Every structure is written in C-alpha cells, then in structure tokens.
Chains A and B, each alone.
Chain A
Amino acid sequence: GENVEQHPSTLSVQEGDSAVIKCTSDSASNYFPWYKQELGKGPQLIIDIRSNVGEKKDQRIAVTLNKTAKHFSLHITETQPEDSAVYFCAAKAAGNKLTFGGGTRVLVKP
C-alpha cells in the first residue's frame, strides 16, 4: 500500500525562526495536504498542493513539491508559539483515501 515518510519526528525552534518539515510519498499521488493537529483535536487542513504545481504560499506557510511528486515540504516562517502543534503531511492517490505521514511535533520556544 501507499507509504508516506515524514521527518523530523520532533522539531524545536526559537520563536521567529523558520521550521521545515519534509515528506516523501512512494505512491503516484496527485494531491498533498498538510494538517495541523492541536492537543485533543482533530486534524485541520492548513495548506495543500497538487502535482501540477511546484510551490504554494499562504502567509507564513509555504509548501514545495518537486517535479517527480515524491518529495514535498512544509515551510513555516517567523514561527510563533501558537504554531506549536503536531503537523502531518498526507498524500492521496487514485480514489479518495489519504495516507498520512508519521507526524512532526513542533515546539516553538518563546
């Protein structure tokens, strides 16, 4: 089945610094969403990208996707304490099932 690898598993950054999370998908995915999960809550979509796009930005958050559509990254700039959460990348191939990465626990230190 599909597999999504995500690194790092934990990431500690100083407030104001950038955070980068990387994922690799081994399937022929065409849609790559990123979810933010706060403690005790469900995953919330923060940004997504499709295989025909190389980069997408939304304020302090950006995603990049290389042309082979196997490597994709989340970039958070000017991190703030409220960015602390677990972030999951995901990939969707044929059909509608999302396969999630293992998650990255981000801690932004004030």
Chain B
Amino acid sequence: EPEVTQTPSHQVTQMGQEVILRCVPISNHLYFYWYRQILGQKVEFLVSFYNNEISEKSEIFDDQFSVERPDGSNFTLKIRSTKLEDSAMYFCASLDRARTGELFFGEGSRLTVL
C-alpha cells in the first residue's frame, strides 16, 4: 500500500537553530500538507501546497516557516529559528488529484527544541 514517508522520526535541536523536516508524499498525489500536533493536543493545520505554491496557511505558519518541493518528490518544512513552543509532532499528508479521497498522513517527525 502506498504511504507517506517522513524523516527524521525524531530531531532534537537547540533553540534558535534551523530545522528541516522531510516528507516523500505518495507518488501520484498533487496536494501536500503539513500539520502539527503538540503533545496531547489536537492536530492543527499549518499549510497546504499545490502546483509549487502555498494554497493556504494558518496563523501558526508565520515567517519562521517555509515549505518547498525541491525535486518533484520531496516536500520539506523548514523552521528558520526554532522556539521552545515549536516542539511538537509534525505530520506530512498528501491527497490525490481527484481531491475527493483520503488524506494520507505520514508517521510524523517529532521535534524537540531545548
């Protein structure tokens, strides 16, 4: 069964450092997302991406965040200068071209900012 893969599974970083989380969406999907889940809380939308540009972003997705699809397969989330409150589980998801089907989530990348 096709799946969304994410790396790293866990990253520990110092406050102020840059972090890049990587995702490989399902190959024939065209819509890509990042969601965040702070420990014990709900899954929150960060950003959606289609046709090489951001289609929607939330208030959480401020200037410290950026997304990129550099090579047609990877989809990355960069946090330029991490803060303590960025500690969370970050989930990548993708949706097929029909946009009517299931949003597939990866296993997540746990970010711990010290």
Contact = CB atoms under 8 A, between A and B. Distances in A.
Interface of A: 1, 31, 33, 35, 40-45, 48, 88, 95-103
B108 A42 contact: yes
Contacts of B106: 42
Q: Bin chain B's interface residue count.
A: 20 to 34
B99 A42 contact: no
Given A96-B95, A97-B48, A97-B56, A43 B43 contact: yes
Given A42-B105, A48-B102, A96 B91 contact: no
B65 interface: no
A2 to B, nearest CB: 9
Contact of A88 (B43, B56, B99): B43
Nearest to A2: B45
A66 B102 CA distance: 22
Contacts, number: 52
B42 A100 contact: yes
A100 B102 contact: no
Interface string B49-75: 000000110100000000000000000
Nearest to A41: B107
A45 B102 contact: yes
A42 B42 contact: no
B105 A97 contact: no
23 contacts: A33-B102, A33-B103, A41-B108, A42-B105, A42-B107, A42-B108, A44-B105, A45-B102, A45-B104, A88-B43, A95-B48, A95-B55, A96-B31, A96-B33, A96-B95, A96-B103, A97-B48, A97-B56, A98-B45, A100-B44, A101-B42, A102-B41, A102-B42
Nearest to B102: A45
A88 B44 CA distance: 12
Contact of B91 (A42, A95, A99): A42
